[in-house]
Amino acid sequence: MSDNTFAKDVHRGLSAPLKHISSKYFYDDIGSGIFQDIMKMPEYYPTACEFEILSLQGERIIDRLHFQEPFNIVEFGAGDGIKTRQLLKKLISSGTDFSYVPIDISKKAIEELETNMLHHLPGLKINSKIGNYFSMIEELSAAHTPSLYLFLGGNIGNYEVNEVNDLLTRFNESMRPGDKLLTGFDLQKNPATIRCAYDDPKGITKKFNINLLHRINRELGGNFKTNQFDFYSHYNPMNGEVRSYLVSLVPQKVHVQRMDKCYTFQQNELIWTELSKKYTLTEIETTARNNGFQVVEHFLDCKHYFTDSLWEKA
Ligand code: AVJ
């Protein structure tokens, strides 16, 4: 991503009547490191749940693909790949002929993932792609190889309903009939459990959010005094939405060199940073149907906190 897009998005977000910065900007090198720490917190349950699903139910997921070999397993935004590895391990040990195709916009992320995967699974056929999801799906579809697309980790939770529909429609249009999509959705559950996952006692999630301001200081020459901002996260069990914010503790002005602009904050003014939507199984089924997919099966962890839902292009 070019710095210029970041500068434009920050400018637009901080000039809006309700200030906002997109959660996609959390993940610079430092932010990705803090996210690794979040995934290790006992309160942040989704990682362990999805690990359990892919470790214990990998064979059952594979059984429902009904693909002719060779096929592709295509992954969007693989991260460290530890969870995906559980699934790939099963396929390799059963001698299945497939290629693993991770797609990411970051060359560095792809190179690290490749090294790591090959270290653990030396027999893996890996065909990494650097670039945009949609153009890559089209390229893969043109080769007529059956494909399972992975969109794991609950990343879909960061999208608003209309964005989810746009994204899934575009995936669907680029896929071939019979291709499958496995998506991770965090499920609605005891609201207190969800609240603790996003408002942790050690303040790691706060640090993750404050890093956005550090990133603006580092990359765009901002002068945010980060100790003059707090973090606030709210779960609304009526609609399944966790929304997270930075809060300006005092009236203040912040200058950003790159844009040569000043942004004014009132006391207690918010910067909205993230949506982490929690779904019901019914909502997931409606979402699938509305975007041209048929649900094959939901694979839940034993606590029913999370699902990897397998869909087929109808
Ligand atoms: C990586 C988008 C799934 O929303 O749960 C973790 C990111 N934000 N804690 C999520 C996140 C705060 C995470 N996703």
ipTM of the complex: 0.99
Q: How many domains does the chain have?
A: 2
Does 194 fall in a domain? no
Same-domain pairing of 143 and 290:
yes
Same-domain pairing of 102 and 170:
yes
The atom of ligand 1 lying closest to the CA of 208 is: 12
If one residue of 158, 187, 234 were mutated to test the ligand 1 pocket, choosing by the most ligand atoms within 8 A of its CB, it would be: 158
CB 200 near ligand 1, within 6 Å: no
CATH number at residue 306: 3.40.50.150
Does 251 fall in a domain? yes
In the chain, the percentage of residues whose pLDDT exceeds 70 is: 99
CB 22 near ligand 1, within 6 Å: no
Same-domain pairing of 96 and 78:
yes
- Taking alpha carbons only, the member of 283, 288, 197 closest to residue 235 is 197
Sign of CA dihedral 203, 55, 179, 141: positive
Confidence class of residue 78 from pLDDT cuts 50, 70 and 90? confident
Does 113 fall in a domain? yes
- Whether 238 has a pLDDT exceeding 60, the answer reads yes
Confidence class of residue 2 from pLDDT cuts 50, 70 and 90? low
Same-domain pairing of 180 and 307:
yes
Mean predicted confidence (pLDDT) in 211-225: 98
The residues facing 263 across adjacent strands are: 254
Same-domain pairing of 164 and 23:
no
**Residue-wise over 58-91: b if at least 16 C-beta within 10 A, else e?**
beebbeebebeeebbbbbbbbbbbebbbbbbbbb
* Residue 276 Cα to ligand 1 middle (Å): 7
Which domain covers residue 287, as residue numbers?
45-189+278-313
CB 157 near ligand 1, within 6 Å: yes
* Residue 38 Cα to ligand 1 middle (Å): 9
pLDDT tens, residue by residue, 21-34 = 999 999 998 999 99
Mean predicted confidence (pLDDT) in 16-45: 96
Confidence class of residue 140 from pLDDT cuts 50, 70 and 90? confident
Q: Is pTM, for the whole model, over 0.80? A: yes
Same-domain pairing of 109 and 130:
yes
CB 158 near ligand 1, within 6 Å: yes
Q: Residue 291's pLDDT is what?
A: 98
| Mean pLDDT computed over every residue of the chain | 95
Mean predicted confidence (pLDDT) in 283-306: 98
